[in-house]
Amino acid sequence: MAGVLPAASVPACGAPGTDTGEKSAGTSARETPASSVPSGKIQPGWELPSLADIYREDFKIGNVFGPDTLSGDSFRLIRRHFNILTAENDMKPASLTREKGVYDFDTADAMLSEISAAGIAVHGHTLGWHAQSAAWLNTGVTRTEAAENMRAYVQTVAGHFRGKVVSWDVLNEGVDFSGSFGGNWHDALRRDSDWYAAFGSEAKKGENPWDYVELLFREARKADPDAVLYYNDYNLNLSEKADAVCAMVQDINDRYRKETGGPRLLIEGVGMQGHYTIGTDPKSVEKSIQKFLRLGVRISISELDVGVPGAEPDGLTPEQEKRQAIVYAKLFQIFKKHAASIDRVTFWGLDDARSWRAESFPLLFNGDLSAKQAYYAVADPDGYLAKVGSEETFRQSAEAAPGTPVLGKGQDPAWDKAREYPVTQQLQAWNYASGTMKALWDSDALYVRVQVRDASLDASSANAWEQDSVECFVSESDNRTDAYGDGDGQYRVSFRNDRSFGSTDGAGVQSAVEKTEDGYCVTMKIPFRTVKPASGTKMGFDVQINDAADGVRKGVVTWNDPTGRAYTDPSVFGEIILR
Ligand code: XIL
């Protein structure tokens, strides 16, 4: 499928060309190969090969709909690429009913008829949720009333849309906990759900709050027996949360199957929302897919977007856009591999300007509906990765020169041999500090000099990371795993020369700080702990500058890490090579 790759890197922003007419998602994917884009001209997204066609044998490709997406160029883009749609808001309880017994289906119905006329399927979202709900359903009512209201709501709503939706998110985000999963899914349920509270209100009579989950699914099955019933949630790539959801689905399905004796499951699908960032490890997504597969359920990626934390308000840098595209490509390689079990991959938004996470530019299309690198990565993941290389090939790479500097002397001539690198990648919108770094090495240690430009220095927070400070990250074996291990360490030095460490006791670390005209200069010695260094040795490495004011951290800049997760995840470090 190399034909869909752009000839040259596609600009991040720009005006789409003139409208050349509509093409439905049924049009051949091959007729407008993007590689024929003349460089400089930006092609509107609806002229590019249809994602729905590309993945026709694998799974449906979805997006959201709302009042501003079903006309003009937006609808053109939708019809080109997507063969199933989810209402971004208009089929949630809050949109359909405000008072008991009163429902307003007009807006949703009008949109559904446009969608159906375009030959596009609809997934229902969502019957039960703790947010965007209606107070009459479950707030301040008894368990008995809540159960009656649930029945009435599900019968009315799922009954109304019967035949118009192929599947429903029956419960959204019912599980919520952090920490380790102890084995009982009841303990993992979200406590701030009014459904949970109402069903627990007669606990004295031995009634259990968690019953609401099963009842919701049973009502949905009755109201629309043809719809595939889904449990939908976020962070399902986190293994503990995935385990809790597995336990819940298994328990409810076992009971249902015992009762009905039939093969059909009650909870037939798990929707992994997929609100990721460029720091998300695609392998964690695959691990969870494999867990859900063992339950025998269908899987959908129901709300996919891949945000870039700390993006500048005016858009992504080419480097950020490429990193984002690589995550998309790796995710789609995984989705393709498991296509036999995946029903649908739905993106949560058409374009970056209208995304619910617009500040992190998480989607395939720019606000002007031109395609980003992410589009090309999704259209042809293998080809894209072959072309741009994997993540490893363009993480920042620095060199450390041989030498042993005098600490506390930033102008020591030993530093003259070392190349200087900017530490300017901003992870937060507001930032007043930036800097440069250099590195040297000898048989004992790595030496790092960071010169920080920062006009006002602050150490009034009790937390070391919220004081003006410099952090170095070293992964001696460059293992690139997502957790710290032997030889990985975080080394922090404040502008007052206070030292603090992560994943090491900091034995042998030395540092000095000099005040400079426009900030401060940190020099530090980081002893090697697990390697015998030699010329050519490569290590994981990063530098971060924390910018504090008024007792809080206002900004963070890094040399390589685009995610702000270096303190916990060595796979986001850049690399340093000893010369
Ligand atoms: C979001 C919509 O995108 C926003 O427009 C709205 O303001 C809030 O809800 N998980 C879900 C979705 O299941 O329904 C949410 O959608 C995003 C998180």
Q: Does the annotation mark 233 as catalytic?
A: yes
Share of the chain above pLDDT 90, in %: 77
Strand partners, 557: 426, 545
What's the pLDDT tens digit per position in 217-270?
999 999 999 999 999 999 899 888 999 999 999 999 999 999 999 899 999 999
Q: Does the annotation mark 68 as catalytic?
A: no
Among 65, 68, 88, name the best residue to mutate to test ligand 1's pocket (greatest count of ligand atoms within 8 A of Cβ).
88
Using pLDDT thresholds of 50, 70 and 90, give the confidence band for residue 31.
Answer: very low
What's the pLDDT tens digit per position in 317-363?
988 999 999 999 999 999 999 999 999 999 999 999 999 999 999 99
Q: If you measure from the C-alpha of residue 125 to the centroid of ligand 1, how many angstroms do you get, rounded to a whole number?
A: 10
- The residue type found at 243 is D
Choosing from 47, 173, 176, 380, the catalytic residue is 173
Mean pLDDT of 126-143: 97
Q: If you measure from the C-alpha of residue 300 to the centroid of ligand 1, how many angstroms do you get, rounded to a whole number?
A: 17
The per-residue DSSP string of 487-549 comes to TEEEEEEETT--EEEESS--TT-EEEEEEETTEEEEEEEEE-SS----TT-EEEEEEEEEEEE
Ligand 1 atom 3, closest CA: 356
Q: Which of 47, 49, 45, 41 is nearest to 14 (CA)?
A: 41
Choosing from 176, 233, 478, 561, the catalytic residue is 233
Using pLDDT thresholds of 50, 70 and 90, give the confidence band for residue 398.
Answer: very high
* pLDDT for the residue 395: 73
Ligand 1 atom 9, closest CA: 89
Q: What lines the ligand 1 site, CB under 6 Å?
A: 88-89, 172, 273, 303, 356
Nearest atom, ligand 1, residue 234 CA: 10
* pLDDT for the residue 6: 42
Nearest atom, ligand 1, residue 173 CA: 13
What's the pLDDT tens digit per position in 276-303?
988 788 998 999 999 999 999 999 999 9
pLDDT over threshold 60, residue 9: no
DSSP 178: -
Nearest atom, ligand 1, residue 348 CA: 3
Choosing from 303, 454, 468, 471, the catalytic residue is 303
Q: If you measure from the C-alpha of residue 352 to the centroid of ligand 1, how many angstroms do you get, rounded to a whole number?
A: 15
Count CA atoms within 13 Å of residue 88 on its CB side.
17
Q: Does the annotation mark 173 as catalytic?
A: yes
Q: Which of 435, 451, 454, 470 is nearest to 519 (CA)?
A: 454
CA distance 272 to 268: 13
Share of the chain above pLDDT 70, in %: 90
Cα torsion angle, 147, 148, 153, 159, sign: positive
- pTM value is 0.71
